[in-house]
Structure 1
Amino acid sequence: MTSRPVRVGLQIQPQHADYQTIRRAVREAEELGVDILFNWDHFYPLRGEPEGLHFECWTMLAAWAEQTSRAEIGALVTCNSYRNPELLADMARTVDHVSEGRLILGIGSGWFEKDYQEYGYEFGTAGGRLDALAEALPRIESRFAKLNPAPTRKIPVLIGGGGEKKTLRLVARHADIWHGFGDAETVERKVGILRQHCADVGRDPAEIEISTAAQGKPADVGPTLLNLGVSLFTVSASGPDYDLSDLREWLVWRDAVNG
């Protein structure tokens, strides 16, 4: 069981929608009281028409930083392969300032091969991409310390992924938030492995917020996940129209749990 307050995020998947529709969804979600607004870092839709409408991640986050005033914002998650780590740190610092301290730096090793092929990045292997992420994270942290002006706060780092040997060890070393996937049994196993990695590197696992996708009815799945330590639940919505009915249900449940 976590002592953290329950938070609810919304991943606005920027596929199959014009930008005016995305903007309206952002506005509606913030008015409803969402805690975090996420997009994702891809260049093509992941579902539906593979050449459908789509927009780039970080330029969008800068626009969201100006459009919103309360919710935190971030990518779920940035692909480490697409930007030099020092550049990514500078981009994150800039959006942090534009948003007046509301950015979360979500990052992962990358997996969508079409993005790599179409944009000229080397796809390589899953292990190689994880090794590159392990190299990038200290470089990002180092660049944060050198930037002028500095970030407005310690920018929270969210690492997405469930790899038990490499990814969760990176979470133990570098992350403020871990975003995982799967049912309660999977979450329970991976939280146990994460705690062991934290012990190995001398870190208190309570420092890491546990996040997962909000799938199903909150009354059905929420209490079990809460007992496993999850406190951040993220609903997904896709274009062309963004249906926020699931988000509304999770927000009602959040408020009831938090009292």
Structure 2
Amino acid sequence: MIDRPVRIALQLQPQHLDYKAIRRTAAEAEDLGVDVIFNWDHFYPLSGDPVGLHFECWTMLGAWAEATARVEIGALVTCNSYRNPELLADMARTVDHISDGRLILGIGSGWFEKDYQEYGYEFGTAGGRLDDLAAALPRIESRLGKLNPPPTRKIPVLIGGGGERKTLRLVARHADIWHGFGDPDTVARKVEILHRHCAEVGRDPAEIELSTGVRGNPAELGGRLRELGVSLFTVGVGGPDPDLGPLRSWLAWRDAENGRTGG
């Protein structure tokens, strides 16, 4: 396994905030030294007032590409159901250029039924949405290879989700980053299954960066996840009063951990 340095991401959830507050929080996070800033791809808040303030994902990423200078940016994660795969590839290539090569293309199969109902997408079944994602990923890869100009780099693909039979197999085939969820025991089981899928498709699992969402004390949780190979740790924050205190704690832990290991 490649000994990757620890990286810290902020998922700036675009709910219950006006855009000025979103922009201000993203700028503060970049000034603090965060490595990645993610948003999410929903049309309504996931908590609090279900029809509260909310903004769209990819137009926001285009704005972040101009408003930030150093951090990588992306969606955690894009819902595959909402955009034609070729269009999504072109959008990703465009934001990649605007940002001078700082986009991560995060993608998943989708799950929030309210988004589908309100915006007229067919919700279907979880298995059907995963099958759609499996069909879309090669189309995205193909379109990225045809665009003129091409992306500035091989845009990293992040696949989010923990489904052991379908999702992790897609990660093994297509992803540069896997984003999972759960406590260390859960992550350990998923990583073991991911390694089996990698062996089946002939992929070196060391090529895939391991990412997870985190809460709580990094001194208690960070080391356990690090031992499993996790190197990208994402702290979530939303409105109406975004608190970057936990992010600061994880950034301090990152700096100590990377200093200790020479990362």
TM-score, length-scaled by structure 1? 0.99
Distance in 2 (alpha carbons) for counterparts of 1:167 and 1:46: 22
Q: How far did residue 19 of structure 1 move? A: 0.3
Determine the structure 1 residue equivalent to 2:81: 81
Query: What residue in structure 2 maps to residue 37 of structure 1?
Result: 37
Q: CA deviation at 1:97?
A: 0.2
Once residues 169 and 224 of structure 1 are traced to their aligned partners in structure 2, the CA distance between those partners, rounded to angstroms, is 25
Aligned-partner Cα distance in 2 for 1:43–1:2: 37
SS of alignment partner, residue 242 of structure 2: coil
Aligned to 1:122: 122
> 2:139 matched to 1:142?
no
SS across alignment from 1:46: coil
Q: 1:151 maps to what in 2?
A: 151
Matched residue, 1:230: 230
Q: What is the aligned partner in structure 2 of residue 176 from structure 1? A: 176
The alignment partner of 2:178 has SS state of: strand
Sequence identity of aligned pairs in percent?
78
| Contact kept in structure 2, 1:15 and 1:53, CA below 8 Å | yes
Is 1:52 aligned to residue 52 of structure 2?
A: yes
Q: Report if aligned partners of 1:108, 1:159 keep a CA contact under 8 Å in 2.
A: yes
Number of the residue aligned with 2:109: 109
Following the alignment from structure 1 to structure 2, what is the Cα–Cα distance between the partners of residues 220 and 213? Answer: 15
- 1:168 shift after superposition: 0.1
**d(CA) in 2 for partners of 1:140, 1:108:** 13
Q: Across the two proteins, how many residue pairs are aligned to each other?
A: 259
Tell me what 2:192 maps to. 192
Paired with 2:149 and 2:214, the residues of 1 have a C-alpha distance of: 36
Identify the residue that residue 17 of structure 2 maps to in structure 1: 17
- Using the alignment, how far apart are the partners of 1:163 and 1:229 within structure 2? 19
Give the Cα separation in 2 of the matches to 1:216 and 1:27.
Answer: 23
- Once the two structures are TM-superposed, the CA of residue 2 in structure 1 deviates from its matched residue by 5.5
State how far apart, in whole Å, the 2-side matches of 1:125 and 1:175 are: 23
Query: How many Å apart are 1:242 and its aligned residue?
Result: 1.3
Is contact 1:2–1:227 with CA below 8 Å preserved after alignment?
A: no
Q: For residues 51 and 37 of structure 1, what CA distance do their matches in structure 2 show? A: 24
Partner of 1:26: 26
Give the letter aligned to residue 46 of structure 1.
L
Deviations 1:113-138 (Å, cap 9, x if unpaired)?
A: 00000000000000000000000000
Is there any run of 5+ residues in structure 2 with no aligned partner, and where? none
Moved over 4 A (4+): none
Alpha-carbon distance between aligned partners in 2 of 1:215 and 1:155, rounded to the nearest angstrom: 28
Question: How far does the alpha carbon of each residue in 1:82-125 deviate from its partner, in whole angstroms, 9 at most, with x for none?
Answer: 00000000000000000000000000000000000000000000
